[in-house]
């Protein structure tokens, strides 16, 4: 274990002693909120310190076993070698657990998410690709038994979407999909191409955590413009008969959100407001991230939708994620929603980056 990490766990042991003293105080329970916070922190810190103590004990066991490894008694030496092997294996496992426990946690990771896909360069082919991406994420959600709904869509004449906004609900959805934000590029021969030439088109994806109603951004109603209009779509008995679709504009920022999937104007308004709040919160988050990125550029990137993050190459059957230089020759499986390998690799790269910062110690 690196000295900087060991020092952090030693500081946690001191903090545990402080928490023990605070909770033992006769007045500790007089402030219930503070008492709950102290109890929660005590449980977390105690678990880490206990694991760290076990790590230290196994270090001592290993040192003792190595001293006996060269004994003249063959049976004793064999027992020492066995103990040494077991201690090393447990130390490796404990170190991984301890390192993981210190990585920064994002409370947003547990939230549901809004996923927005917009066609970019490439005209009709870009819209078709937007449709492919929407299908990919819907299939991925289905694999994980997440709930999905289309909040708004702007279909293209030849198929696909100029824009589509999905809500995906489930345990840890945002944490799973957060690295999908950015520019997605496709290289393939369009169906309308008569000479077999490969075209490059692009779409942008933005993944936003659904705000907690109790902690959402406060919006002044006077700063909102709310418009109603008739829903557009492929048709059906309820389409274009009532002005149930809602568009909300936040005047200070110009951010717009709309919802047209429900026959109820009231429900559409509530859903559009949730998307609007998420977009405003994301704007604030992006501005903070930009300031931090000026100091240190992250491996995975800021998640800004202008970043080109991934290429889907049909002729070669490959998908390349440019942030971690990972290429998988499983294009069709990925487009069918099998994103787990990509997501796991991105999470691992992010964890490695965070750990490197952690191990470097305070600046």
Nearest to 22 by CA among 102, 31, 51: 31
User: Residue 303's pLDDT is what?
Assistant: 46
User: Residue 157's pLDDT is what?
Assistant: 86
User: Residue 285's pLDDT is what?
Assistant: 75
The pLDDT of residue 200 is above 80:
yes
* Distances 237 to 228, 230, 267, 310, 348 between C-alpha atoms, Å: 19, 13, 19, 40, 48
SS3 294: helix
- Using pLDDT thresholds of 50, 70 and 90, give the confidence band for residue 361: low
Other Cβ atoms closer than 10 A to 314: 14
User: Residue 67's pLDDT is what?
Assistant: 83
Over residues 175-197, the pLDDT tens digits come to: 999 999 999 999 998 876 777 78
DSSP E strands: which ranges in 95-158?
113-119, 147-155
Q: How far apart are CA 338 and CA 308, in angstroms?
A: 21
- Using pLDDT thresholds of 50, 70 and 90, give the confidence band for residue 139: very high
What long-range pairs does 256-260 form, CB within 8 A, spacing at least 24?
A: 258/152, 259/151, 259/152, 260/151, 260/152, 260/153, 260/229, 260/231, 260/232, 260/233
User: Residue 240's pLDDT is what?
Assistant: 45
Over residues 318-329, the pLDDT tens digits come to: 999 999 999 999
Q: What percentage of the chain exceeds 90 in pLDDT?
A: 36
User: Residue 340's pLDDT is what?
Assistant: 94
User: Residue 185's pLDDT is what?
Assistant: 94
Q: How far apart are CA 221 and CA 251, in angstroms?
A: 10
3-state helix, strand, coil in the chain (%, to 5): 50, 20, 30
Over residues 332-341, the pLDDT tens digits come to: 999 999 999 9
- Using pLDDT thresholds of 50, 70 and 90, give the confidence band for residue 360: low
- Using pLDDT thresholds of 50, 70 and 90, give the confidence band for residue 297: very low
Strand partners, 255: 250
Delineate the domains of the chain, giving CATH numbers in brackets: 3-102 (1.20.58.410), 107-352 (3.30.70.1660)
Over residues 53-74, the pLDDT tens digits come to: 999 999 999 988 888 877 777 8
Structure tokens at 73: 């008694």
Over residues 215-226, mean pLDDT: 76
> Which H/E stretch holds residue 245?
strand 245-250
Over residues 141-167, the pLDDT tens digits come to: 999 999 999 988 889 888 899 999 999
Question: Residue 218 carries which DSSP code?
Answer: P
**Structural contact between residues 319 and 312, judged by C-beta atoms closer than 8 angstroms:** yes
Q: How far apart are CA 314 and CA 297, in angstroms?
A: 31
Query: Please, what's the b/e burial string for 172-181 (b: 16 or more CB within 10 A of its CB; e: otherwise)?
Result: ebbbbbbbbb
Tell me how long the chain is. 363
User: Residue 274's pLDDT is what?
Assistant: 82
Residue predicted with more confidence, 280 or 203: 203
User: Residue 265's pLDDT is what?
Assistant: 79
- Using pLDDT thresholds of 50, 70 and 90, give the confidence band for residue 276: confident
Residue predicted with more confidence, 234 or 120: 120
Residue predicted with more confidence, 58 or 261: 58
User: Residue 363's pLDDT is what?
Assistant: 43
Residue predicted with more confidence, 234 or 10: 10
Q: Tokens 């869509």 — which residue? A: 153
């Amino acid at each position: 274990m690196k000295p900087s990490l060991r020092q952090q766990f030693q500081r946690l042991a001191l903090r545990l002693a402080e928490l023990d003293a605070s909770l033992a105080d006769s007045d500790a329970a007089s402030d219930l909120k503070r008492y709950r916070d102290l109890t929660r922190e005590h449980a977390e810190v105690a678990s880490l310190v206990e694991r760290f103590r076990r790590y230290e004990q196994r270090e001592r066991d290993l040192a003792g076993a190595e001293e006996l490894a060269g004994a003249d008694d063959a049976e004793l030496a064999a027992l020492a070698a066995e103990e040494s092997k077991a201690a090393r294996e447990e130390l490796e496992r404990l170190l991984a657990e301890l390192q993981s426990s210190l990585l920064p946690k994002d409370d947003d990771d547990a939230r549901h998410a809004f996923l927005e896909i917009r066609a970019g360069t490439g005209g009709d082919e870009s819209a078709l690709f937007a449709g492919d991406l929407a299908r990919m994420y819907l299939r991925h959600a289905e694999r994980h038994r997440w709930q999905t709904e289309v909040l708004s869509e702007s279909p293209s004449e030849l198929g696909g979407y100029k824009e589509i906004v999905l809500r995906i609900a489930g345990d840890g959805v945002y944490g799973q999909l957060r690295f999908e934000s950015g520019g997605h590029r496709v290289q393939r021969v369009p169906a309308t191409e008569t000479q077999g030439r490969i075209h490059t088109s692009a779409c942008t994806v933005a993944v936003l955590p659904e705000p907690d109603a109790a902690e959402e951004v406060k919006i002044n109603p006077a700063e909102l413009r709310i418009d109603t209009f008739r829903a557009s779509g492929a048709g059906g008995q309820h389409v274009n008969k009532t002005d149930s679709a809602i568009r909300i504009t936040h005047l200070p920022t110009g951010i717009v959100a709309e919802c047209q999937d429900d026959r109820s104007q009231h429900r559409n308004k509530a859903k559009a407001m949730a998307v609007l709040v998420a977009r405003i919160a994301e704007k604030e988050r992006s501005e903070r991230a930009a300031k931090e990125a000026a100091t240190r550029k992250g491996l995975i990137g800021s998640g800004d939708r202008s970043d080109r993050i991934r290429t889907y190459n049909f002729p070669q059957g490959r998908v390349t994620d440019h942030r971690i230089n990972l290429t998988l020759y499983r294009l069709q499986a990925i487009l069918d929603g099998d994103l787990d390998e990509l997501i796991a690799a991105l999470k691992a790269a992010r964890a490695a980056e965070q750990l490197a910062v952690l191990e470097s110690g305070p600046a």
